Amino acid sequence: MKCPFDLKNKKAIIKFEEQDVFNPKNTIKGYINRRQGHLYGSLYITHVNGKKVPQVIYGTPKQHYPFDRQDRWEFPDADSIEIYEKLDGTNILSYVYTDGEKEYLTFKTRLRPTLGSSKFGNFFFLWNEMLKKYNLSDFCFNNKYNYSFELYGKRNKILVEYDVPLDTRLIFAIDNKTGKIIPPSRISTSIPKMEILNKLDKTDKEYYISYQKDLDNNLEVDEKTGIVKGREGTVWYFITDDRVNQIKCKPEGILKFHWSPNRIPYESIYTTCVNAFENFDKPCYEDVKQLLMEEFTEDKIDVSKQRILKILADVLFEKKLQFELIEKYNELGIDINEDKGAVMRHFAKIYPKEVSGKIFKLLMDYTEGLNE
């Protein structure tokens, strides 16, 4: 089977050889496409357990705006348009691969062949909770599509603050023979999926801008705490008989974090640093730079290097603290909901006073998830 993306462009691919955490006897080897477009995050598996079995796995593509920074607009052709909420979390893709004799189900983040499992970002642990909660494995394996989910909530916070500790929604499917996107409305399942917010026969720039303003009016941004509440945006599916194109629509309150004219805004760097843990166990500056280059010029990133390093260090500290807290809390054996004082006195002996508020919030989010 021929690879659909360019393996000669070393900057556009990631070479991998990893143990499949969901099928630990298997080692998969191949390439990931990191160039933006409909093949973003797709895999070309060359070997399974040392055996040559070339196969293409279509990933979750990058969604685009209907305009560029020069304010040039273009909408895809469509017989109908379906609008869905855009969740702010981690994208998890299910896929089925073969060793030439047997088929296996596994799950991946965008730029990895499987889920990471480290003290800085244990997506394997979090996703297993969802597999049990919704019995996803049978559905994902038996239907043979690649299914794209969003893992979101307080315990996997990116930018938007959600009320739920941890949850997931099926956002769309991908036909692994063609790469064609299948919208939620055409997926029959009892598993929680995205619901249509609106359906149109056609659209234009004026309607899109008015929709964007409505999103902005319902967005709450606390500049002091950095907490954002509301919809991160929406995804518009432009549907014809033979294809589906996705266009994203985000409120100005979110876009301003990403498209500052003079420098990379704090929120864009912070969000990218958090997202980096989806693809790297312990991301370094070069890993974050690689992701930022999908949105910003190299010159702009290099000028912001010290800022990126500081924010990355802060995120690493938060991730490490979160991992340590959960371990120490479980060893303590006291429910914070029953004896907050005893728990906080215990952690006050271990951590400085200035992180006590962060400790309390992390523990409350964690225990809320356990008690759902």
pLDDT tens-digit series, residues 62-78:
889 998 878 899 999 99
Beta bridge partners of 149: 92, 170
Indicate the SS3 state at residue 171: strand
pLDDT in tens, 78-126: 999 999 999 999 999 999 999 999 999 999 999 999 998 776 668 999 9
- Per-residue H/E/C for 336-354: CCCCHHHHHHHHHCCCCHH
Task: Classify the C-alpha dihedral 261-267-268-270 as positive or negative.
Answer: positive
224 pLDDT above the threshold of 60 = no
pLDDT at residue 258, rounded to an integer: 56
pLDDT (mean) for 274-303 = 87
* Burial of 163: CB neighbours in 10 Å, binned 0-12, 13-18, 19+: exposed
7 pLDDT above the threshold of 80 = yes
17 pLDDT above the threshold of 60 = yes
Decide if 258 contacts 269 (C-beta within 8 A). Answer: no
pLDDT at residue 1, rounded to an integer: 81
C-alpha to C-alpha distance for 137 and 107, rounded to whole angstroms: 10
Q: Among candidates 349, 311, 322, which has minimal Cα distance to 156?
A: 322
Dihedrals phi, psi of 154, to nearest 5 degrees: -60, -35
